[in-house]
Amino acid sequence: MPNNPTDLKITLASASPRRRELLHLTGWAFSVCSSSVSETSRVGETPVQVARRLALSKAQAARAMCSDVAVTLAADTMVVHQQEILGKPADVDAAVSMLQRLRGQSHSVITAVALDTGEHAPDVELCETSVPMREYRQEEIVQYIRGGSPFDKAGAYGIQDPDFHPVELQSFSGCFANVMGLPLCHVVRAFRKLGYEPPEDVPKRCKQFTGYDCTIYPTILRRPL
């Protein structure tokens, strides 16, 4: 029998407002306790290895810092273009350069989701999504940067930004929530391993929130644990 969702004490190890918004869609109550973790990649690490290591580090750091925690949830998202990890742009020039590089091409978004219960080895779910970008104009890049949105986002863009809408959604078939920073069906899978089901219908809530009609969630949620 699944455990009672109200018995679950979740700590989200992230200060990201987007991750908070997405996790709320599950119906689980949670608190937020983020800690500072160096996000510098190590020599020889692949993007998947970096995302996995950082998600685990964030979960473990938050567990050590916060009290009365049953499960710590952490995530790390990588925007990868031509084998290069694109972080958050440091300035206008960096944002322009990233958006120009991504324009009209596809790149990958990789998110590692880590759950740490403090009792067993932490569990990690990995989600990778191919993201096709549209051929936006230079003037659109300038206007988007002027609004300030790119500077807190890896790759200098948000898939959810309605004014810029950088992604070619007609060619997109992956996890929208992953590109925002938290692949919700992978979160559900991770909690199922602990015997917990979310109070809400997550695919339905995700569709309502994002406006994106996801077709891959049945495959993710049916995948063996």
pLDDT in tens, the chain (225 residues): 456 656 688 999 998 999 999 999 999 999 999 877 888 888 889 999 999 999 999 999 988 888 767 899 999 999 999 999 999 999 999 999 999 999 999 999 999 999 999 887 889 999 999 999 999 999 999 999 999 999 999 999 999 998 899 999 999 999 999 999 999 999 999 999 999 999 999 999 999 999 999 999 999 998 766
Q: Specify burial of residue 122 (Cβ count, 10 A radius: 0-12, 13-18, 19+).
A: middle
Q: Are 8 and 27 in contact (CB under 8 A)?
A: no
Which are the contacts of 46, defined by CB distance < 8 A and separation ≥ 6?
none
Q: Is 145 left (phi over 0), alpha (psi -120 to 50) or beta?
A: alpha
Q: Let me know: does 35 contact 62? Beta carbons within 8 Å.
A: yes
The pLDDT score that the predictor gives to residue 42 is 87
> Which residues form the catalytic set?
76
Predicted local distance difference test score (pLDDT) of residue 38: 81
How far is Cα 219 from Cα 38, in angstroms, rounded to an integer?
34
Structural domains of the chain in order of their starting residue, each with its CATH number: 5-222 (3.90.950.10)
| pLDDT score, position 225 | 64
CA distance 28 to 7: 10
Please, what's the b/e burial string for 88-120 (b: 16 or more CB within 10 A of its CB; e: otherwise)? Answer: bbeeeebbbebbebbbeeebbbbbbbbbbeeee
Alpha carbon distances (Å) from 13 to 30, 49, 85, 147, 148? 10, 19, 22, 28, 25
Radius of gyration of the chain (CA): 17
The dihedrals phi and psi of 62, each to the nearest 5 degrees, come to -70, -40
CA–CA separation, 121 and 44 (whole Å)? 24
What's the pTM value of the predicted model, to 2 decimals? 0.93
- C-beta of residue 36 within 8 angstroms of C-beta of residue 54: no
Q: What is the pLDDT of residue 1?
A: 42
Asked if 28 contacts 84 with a C-beta cutoff of 8 angstroms, the reply is no
